[in-house]
Structure 1
Amino acid sequence: MKKRDVGDHENKCSKEHMRLLLKKVDDINARLQHQPSERCKFMWRIENWSETLENAKRKQTTDLHSSAFYTGYPGYKLCMRIHPDDCTSGYVGVYLVIMKGDFDHQLRWPFPYSYRLTVIDQQPDGNNVSIWFDPTAPGAESSFERKTHELKSLGLGCGRTKFISHLDLTKRAYIRDDSLLVRAEILIKK
């Protein structure tokens, strides 16, 4: 093989290898765009559960709100809401609430991310109770609109009225040290 032929061969191979490498990078980027790239998790510890539940059964407390949290920077401002004795009596209701936030003008509306709400089983072989929610599901849109007034920012939210029964809470270690743990996990797609 002549020196010139070797040079041409190396040039062709280099270009082909570079083309294959760039195609592989493009394939990886395309896959990443269709997968959640970030998860925002918020854990809420509700202490004095027995007293909270008794107050709810006597209609002294109808619901509780967690502290607010953001999905990122900039991000959506959210909180969790729980009904210790929801409308259907005998059940705990758990919800995610969209709040008026500092970055709302920079974000896409309505809130676009799927999320999971979980009541944590606080024993080593935990049997958590989780439910996934899709904000694009029919009927959910109004719960995920941008909030325009601070006073109305603690809306109903979106979740499940019959999330877990009071009876099921006692079957495993959902209540430990008189505390209930509830987690929100938001799947952020870039």
Structure 2
Amino acid sequence: MDELEAQLRQQQQQLQLKDAALADLEMRLAAQEMARYDGTILWKISGFEAKKREAISGQTTSLYSPAFYSGPCGYKMCARIYPNGDGIGKGTHISLFFVIMRGHYDALLPWPFTQKVTLMMIDQNQTHKEHILDAFRPDSSSSSFKRPTTEMNIASGCPLFLPLERLHSRQRGYLKDDTIFVKIIVDTDGLSAYTDMNPNQLGVGYP
């Protein structure tokens, strides 16, 4: 009986490991299906007030968006948001940043990253929309835009992106139904032809 129970426990552990691996695979596939390859991402963040409370308490101070790309073989990127601010914006603003991630095709891309980046908070009002915009050209001397040597570079962006008091303005619709929408636009003009190639042309799969 002891031997049978040991075998049963071993089988249960193997099943748990397989379930975890399957869940991880499903999550990766879902992220792949959501990925954009045109240098833009529209990021929906639901349950924002709870996320802001978690940020205030220090439980979870920031959130990362799904990855997006400047092309099928282009730069891998994401957004990072601090619902209760970061640095000089902590406690008073939403802070929004842009992040370069390590990608499969970095060896084919020009470095440092020099493409113009536009950060946006979408005004959800049906009329008289007033989106929040902040755009910048990367500093070529900053480590944030060098070829990544870890999973992601240091984020760069705007710590004073949107005052928290303005987020709740009745005249604007930045927060509706406890949901905000963030958009990032990366200018893809002038990028190497490699970034627009289908990975099959290079003999490799999608990242």
Q: TM-score, normalised by structure 2?
A: 0.68
Cα RMSD (Å) of the superposition? Answer: 1.6
Match for 1:92 among 84, 87, 94? 94
* Corresponding residue for residue 143 of structure 1: 144
* Corresponding residue for residue 48 of structure 2: 49
Q: Matches of 2:143 and 2:134 in 1, distance apart?
A: 20
* Corresponding residue for residue 169 of structure 1: 167
Which sections of structure 1, spanning at least 5 residues, go unmatched?
1-38
Q: Does 1:188 align with 2:191?
A: no
Deviation at 1:59, TM superposition (A): 1.2
* Corresponding residue for residue 120 of structure 1: 122
Deviation at 1:179, TM superposition (A): 0.8
Deviation at 1:72, TM superposition (A): 0.5
Counterparts of 1:36-115 in structure 2, within 5 Å, are 40-87=39-86, 88-115=90-117
Higher relative contact order (CA 8 A, sep 6+): 1
Q: TM-score, normalised by structure 1?
A: 0.74
Q: Matches of 1:120 and 1:148 in 2, distance apart?
A: 33
Q: Matches of 1:129 and 1:166 in 2, distance apart?
A: 13
Q: Matches of 1:116 and 1:106 in 2, distance apart?
A: 24
Report SS of the residue matched to 1:61.
coil
* Corresponding residue for residue 12 of structure 2: none
| CA displacement 1:159-184 (0-9 Å, x = unmatched) | 01010011010112101121110000
| CA displacement 1:59-93 (0-9 Å, x = unmatched) | 11111000111110210000000011123212110
Report SS of the residue matched to 2:72.
coil
Larger radius of gyration: 1
* Corresponding residue for residue 29 of structure 2: none
Report SS of the residue matched to 1:56.
helix
- Tell me if the contact between 2:40 and 2:69 (Cα under 8 Å) persists in the aligned partners: no
| CA displacement 1:108-164 (0-9 Å, x = unmatched) | 001110010001111123110000110137xx6211111122xxx233311010100
Say how many residue pairs are matched. 148
Report SS of the residue matched to 1:188.
coil
